[in-house]
Structure 1
């Protein structure tokens, strides 16, 4: 069992397999050129898997593959199959923008993937293009349909932004309800790589939009999930991911591994330790030692606060390197 320095059980590993992305979302990396880390700098899937086995053997029972856009990493389904074959009952999921899903969904399902989190910030073609930096909505919706068709569980993530898509909160919720998917609204996480003109919505503002049409009941957090859940008067359940709330970090069970081999104890903090040298040598014992140190150093909470959005400290974290 993995325990951090504050007594929290860590059983969830998020693995970023690439920092590359085919979108340029305003809240992530709108100005980043379409370039990428040289392939030789990335850990191979075999090297990543050496560490994954250590993590699983120590108690990790939930793994999420992220990016960048993870479907840009060639042969991703083979990596997923490695993990699934090693521990068939593991909760194995992937976060994606869905643009490449029409062709990839069946391969992912066959490899052992169980769940998807898909970003959907608008149901309007022009707004989706404004957020993502190019025309994407048609392919994204096709990707969602294909994922559901092959039997993958799907959750939708939406980041409401003032003056951009804040008028679509209920529309996206209705779309998800009609397709049997849970939606989770995510407070915009301020960071130095985003468009400086963006203004996110506070959790209470998002809930106020929902209350314009529905009565809601607070259900609370489910285990160590980052989502605070609510129930509508019609029985539909949705979530709110509010990293600025005081209790957000209390039950954090996550660590992150980047494609270059950096273990990151907290999404907000820049501190990280590398396992790259060790796994390249096949030295799993030393990699396990790095993991132990990262857990010991894991901070109690992030630096975000419940202050008004314009007063909050900006994170230097490049979310496209860690998957958010």
Structure 2
């Protein structure tokens, strides 16, 4: 069992396989040139898997593959199969923008992937193009439909932005309710890589918008989930992820591994330690010791929850998968 310095059980590993992305979303990386880290700087799937094996042995129960956009890295289904073949009952998931899903959803399902989170911030073609700086909506919707067709469990992630998609929250909720998908609205996490004019909605503002049409009640919080869920009168549940509240951190069970081999204890902070050399040299005990050191230094809270700070996170979400 893995325990951090604040006595929280850590059983969830998020693995970024690339920092590359084919979108340039306003809240993530709008100004970053279309370049990428040289392939030789990245851990191979085999070396990533060495660490995942030992992490599972130490108590990790859930592995989520992220990016950047993970589907940009070739052979991802083979990587999924490595993990599935090692422990078939692991909670194995993927976060994606969905653009490339139509071609690979079946392969990923066959390899052992169980669940998928897809970013969907709008149902309007022009708004999607404004957010992603690319004509993407048709392909994303096609990807979601294909994932559903092959039997993957689907969650939809939406970042509500003032003056951009805040008038669509009910439409998005109803779209997901009709299709049988879970939707989670995510408070915008301020960071230095986002567009300067990007302004998100708070959880209360999101609730106020939905309450214009629906009555809902709070669902008792699942301590393992970053989202607070709410139930409509017909039983449908939607979630809101609230990084600006302390309880987002109180139950944090996550640690992150980047494609270059950095273990990151908290999404907000820059602190990280590299396991790259250890796994490449097959020094697995050394990698385990680094993991435990990172966990010991995992902060109690992120700084989004501190109202009196003027500091903005410098963490690049395209390196960590959010």
Relative to the length of structure 2, the TM-score reads: 0.99
Q: Matched residues in 1 for 2:62 and 2:240: separation?
A: 21
Displacement after TM superposition at 1:224 (Å): 1.5
Q: Does structure 1 residue 11 correspond to structure 2 residue 35? A: no
Displacement after TM superposition at 1:306 (Å): 5.9
Number of the residue aligned with 2:255: 255
Residue ranges of structure 2 left out of the alignment (5+ in a row): none
SS at match of 2:176: helix
Q: Matched residues in 2 for 1:242 and 1:92: separation?
A: 24
SS at match of 2:68: coil
Count of residues paired in the alignment: 322
Q: Matched residues in 2 for 1:212 and 1:313: separation?
A: 34
Runs of 4+ in 1 over 3 A off after TM superposition: none
Q: Deviations over 1:157-216 (max 9, x none)?
A: 000000000000000000001110000000000000000001110110000001000111
Assess, with a 3 A threshold, how the Cα gap between structure 1 residues 305 and 312 changes in structure 2: closer, same or farther.
farther
Q: Deviations over 1:286-314 (max 9, x none)?
A: 00010010010000110112639xx7531
Number of the residue aligned with 1:39: 39
Displacement after TM superposition at 1:246 (Å): 2.1
Stretch deviating more after TM superposition (219-228 or 15-24): 219-228
Displacement after TM superposition at 1:227 (Å): 0.5
Number of the residue aligned with 2:149: 149
Task: Work out whether residues 249 and 301 of structure 1, in 8 Å CA contact, stay in contact via their aligned partners in 2.
Answer: yes
SS at match of 1:184: strand
Q: Matched residues in 2 for 1:200 and 1:43: separation?
A: 34
Q: Matched residues in 2 for 1:221 and 1:66: separation?
A: 25
SS at match of 1:256: strand
Q: Matched residues in 2 for 1:220 and 1:276: separation?
A: 40
Q: Does structure 1 residue 285 correspond to structure 2 residue 285? A: yes
Q: Matched residues in 1 for 2:197 and 2:159: separation?
A: 15
Relative to the length of structure 1, the TM-score reads: 0.98
Q: Matched residues in 2 for 1:64 and 1:41: separation?
A: 21
Displacement after TM superposition at 1:235 (Å): 1.2
Displacement after TM superposition at 1:126 (Å): 0.2
Matches within 5 A, 1:164-243: 164-243=164-243
Displacement after TM superposition at 1:268 (Å): 0.3
Assess, with a 3 A threshold, how the Cα gap between structure 1 residues 151 and 265 changes in structure 2: closer, same or farther.
same
Q: Matched residues in 1 for 2:126 and 2:29: separation?
A: 19
Q: Matched residues in 2 for 1:303 and 1:196: separation?
A: 19
SS at match of 2:157: strand
Q: Deviations over 1:92-131 (max 9, x none)?
A: 0000000000001000000000000000000000000000
Displacement after TM superposition at 1:220 (Å): 3.3
Task: Work out whether residues 304 and 312 of structure 1, in 8 Å CA contact, stay in contact via their aligned partners in 2.
Answer: no
Number of the residue aligned with 1:276: 276
